[in-house]
Structure 1
Amino acid sequence: MKPLKHYVVCTLALLTLFQTAPLSAEGTVDAPVSATDAPTTTTTGDSTTANPIVSAVPISSLLTPDNELVLKKNSTAMLFNKKPLKAAQPLTIKNGSSYAALNGIAGPFGYKLSYDAKTKESIAKAGDIELRFKPGSDMIKRNGESIKGPGPTFILKGSLMVPLRMWSNLTGSRIIPRGLDTVISWEAPPSAEFTVQPTEIFAQQTVVDYLVNGVPTAVDETNTHERWEGRESIFQEAGMHVVTHWVQGENGVWSEPFSVTVNVQMPNQPPVADFTTDKTTYRIGEPVTYTDLSTDDRNDIISAKFTGNSPAFFSDGQFPVTLEVKDGGQLIGTVTKMITVIPEILYTEDEFNLLFTPVGRKYTMDGTAVRNYPTLSYTYTNEPARLVHSNSPERWMTTGLVYDTELSGSTRFLFYNENGAGYPLKMYLIATNTSSTGQASVGVGAWGKGGPDKSTIMAGKMATIRYMDALTKNVPASYVTLAPGESKILLPEMSNVPVKPGDVFSAYADVVSTTNIRYRIVVVQDKQDPLPILDSLTVMPRDNKHVRGTFDYADRVIDLSTSEPVGAKPQSILLGDSKIDKLVDGIDEMTGLLEYDYGNFGVLYKMKVQVAPNTIVGINARGGHYAGAFIVNGKLVPVTTDSALLTQNETAVLYRTGAAAETLDIVFTLASGSYLPINMTFLPMPQLRQ
Structure 2
Amino acid sequence: MKLLRKALPLFVLMLSLNGIAFATEYKLTGRDVQNLPEWPVTISAYGGKLLLSDSPEMVPGDGITYQDTVSGDFRIFFHHVNDTKEPKKIVVLLENPGDYPANITVLRYGLGGPSSDYLRVGKDAQLQYLQNNNLYLVEVAGHDSKLLDFNLGQMIVEPGMLVNGIYDIQSDQPVTVKVMMLPVAEDFASFADKARILPADEHRLRGTFDGKDRLVIGNKAYTSKAGPVAVTLADPQLNHYVSGIDATDGSDVLNYGNYGIVYKLFLPTVHNDKIAYYLNPRGGVYAGGIGVKYRHQYESVLETPAGQLYFGENKITDFEHLGTFAGGQSVWLTFSPPGASNLPVKVVVGPE
Same-fold status (TM-score > 0.5): yes
1:609 counterpart = 2:267:
yes
SS in 2 for 1:610: coil
| Counterpart secondary structure, 2:339 | coil
Structure with higher Rg: it is: 1
Letter in 1 for 2:337: L
Note the 1:23-422 alignment, pairs <5 A.
Answer: 356-357=16-17, 363=20, 365=23, 366-368=28-30, 369-422=32-85
1:502 and 2:169 matched = no
Q: SS state of the match for residue 624, structure 1?
A: coil
Q: CA-atom RMSD, angstroms?
A: 2.0
**In the TM superposition, what are the counterparts of 1:490-529 in structure 2 within 5 Å?**
490-529=148-187
Task: Please list every run of 5 or more consecutive structure 1 residues that lacks an aligned counterpart in the other structure.
Answer: 1-353, 686-690
The equivalences for 1:577-596 within 5 A come to: 577-596=235-254
Residue in 2 that maps onto 1:651: 319
Change (3 A) 1:479 1:663: closer
Query: Residues 381-400 of structure 1, C-alpha deviation per residue, up to 9 Å, x if partnerless?
Result: 11132110100000011111
> In 1, distance between residues paired with 2:106 and 2:206?
21
Q: How many residues align?
A: 323
Cα deviation digits, residues 261-306 of structure 1 (max 9, x gap): xxxxxxxxxxxxxxxxxxxxxxxxxxxxxxxxxxxxxxxxxxxxxx
What does the per-residue CA deviation read over 1:424-445, in whole Å, with 9 as the maximum and x for residues that have no partner?
111111111111x322222222
Q: 1:567·1:615 contact (CA, 8 Å) conserved in 2?
A: no
Distance (Å, rounded) in 2 between the aligned partners of 1:668 and 1:566: 23
Specify the code of the residue in structure 2 equivalent to 1:519.
V
Q: Contact 2:55 / 2:201 at 8 angstroms: preserved in 1?
A: yes
| 1:682 positional shift | 1.2
2:279 corresponds to: 619
Which letter maps to 1:630? Answer: I
Q: Is the 8 A contact 1:402 1:521 kept in 2?
A: yes
Match of 1:666 in 2: 333
Q: Which structure is richer in relative contact order (CA contacts within 8 A, separation 6 or more)? A: 2
Relative to structure 1, the CA distance from residue 425 to residue 567 in structure 2 (aligned partners, 3 Å threshold; closer, same or farther) is: farther
CA displacement, residues 555-609 of structure 1 (integer Å, 9 cap, x when unaligned)? 1111222234367511111111111111111110001011111111111111211
Name the CA distance, whole Å, in 1 between partners of 2:265 and 2:291: 11
- Structure 2 residue identity aligned to 1:656: T
3-state SS in 2 of match to 1:458:
helix
Is 1:682 paired with 2:342? no
Task: Give distance in 2, aligned partners of 1:593 and 1:513.
Answer: 26
> Matched residues in 1 for 2:289 and 2:269: separation?
20
Q: CA deviation at 1:418?
A: 1.4
- What's the counterpart of residue 428 of structure 1? 91
Identity %: 25
* Deviation (angstroms), 1:513: 1.1
Partner of 1:548: 206
**1:639 and 2:304 aligned:** yes
The answer (yes or no) to whether the contact 2:232–2:346 under 8 Å persists in 1 is yes
Match of 2:237, SS state, is coil
For 2:345 and 2:151, how far apart are their aligned partners in 1?
Answer: 32
Counterpart Cα distance in 1 of 2:254 and 2:164: 20
Structure 2 counterpart of 1:645, which letter? F
Instruction: Supply the distance in 1 between the matched residues of 2:156 and 2:105 (Cα, whole angstroms).
Output: 24
Q: Secondary structure at 1:599's aligned position in 2?
A: coil
Corresponding residue for residue 193 of structure 2 = 535
Residue 503 of structure 1, CA deviation: 1.4
1:363 CA drift (Å): 4.0
The TM-score, its normalising length taken from structure 2, stands at 0.86
Partners of 2:331 and 2:225 in 1: how far apart? 12
AA partner of residue 340 (structure 2): G
C-alpha contact 2:69 2:177 (8 A) present in aligned 1: yes
Measure how far apart 1:448 and its partner are.
1.0
1:17 equivalent in structure 2: none
CA contact (8 A) 1:433 1:487 kept: yes
Aligned to 2:122: 460
